Amino acid sequence: EMRRLVVDWAEVIICSGGNTLHALLCWKETGLDLLLKEAAEKGTVLCGGSAGAGCWFSSIHSDSLRPDNVKNSESVKNELDEDELTDWEYVKISGLGIIPAMAVPHYDMTGTNDVSRSENAEQMMEEEQDGVPAFGIDENAALVIEGDMASAVSGDGKATCHVVVTDEETGETTTETMTPGGKPQNIHEVMDVQTE
């Protein structure tokens, strides 16, 4: 039944936000991850916000280990003091691998741990040196990838998307801001700016 709905029937699959790590683990346990990949290969439109935007990438910069990012968050908030609620780190987790890059949702935001997502993602990339580029997606923006073409959409006229790559020679990150509403760019060329 799940196969019929996800692969054969659905034309669009929308994934909500939430705890990315929890969602991806549940999908693996049920086999939904494989069905979502099959739907992608079939050409089904895949979309989502926050965790639901990041899940389609090879990896996600995530706040899944944030203490109050759980199903019973109100109980957690009642049990932990302010220091315990803010003492957490971002993590990089594996996604579905449909888009060969790391997703950084809420790129322009600072977490409850007072750490900037953009700065932390760039630091993570510089430390790992794995050559995988990242797409930073601002709070009120959307990244649209259609085939090999990528474009940014702004929900408030200011928010946008960013391509972050690690320079192979220096090991430092470079960030290129995508122009919202601009001409779509080839995703492979955008992600390969570190060799120019």
Write down how long the chain is. 196
Number of other residues whose CB lies within 10 A of the CB of residue 27? 17
pLDDT digits (tens, 9 = 90+) for 123-133: 999 999 898 99
pLDDT at 72: 62
pLDDT digits (tens, 9 = 90+) for 28-77: 999 999 999 999 999 999 999 999 999 999 999 999 988 777 666 676 67
Q: 31: which DSSP letter?
A: T
DSSP 150-196: EEEEESSSS--EEEEEE-TTT--EEEEEPPBTS--EEHHHHHTGGG-
> Would the pLDDT of 110 be above 80?
yes
Tokens standing for residue 185 = 């760019």
Mean per-residue pLDDT for 147-159? 94
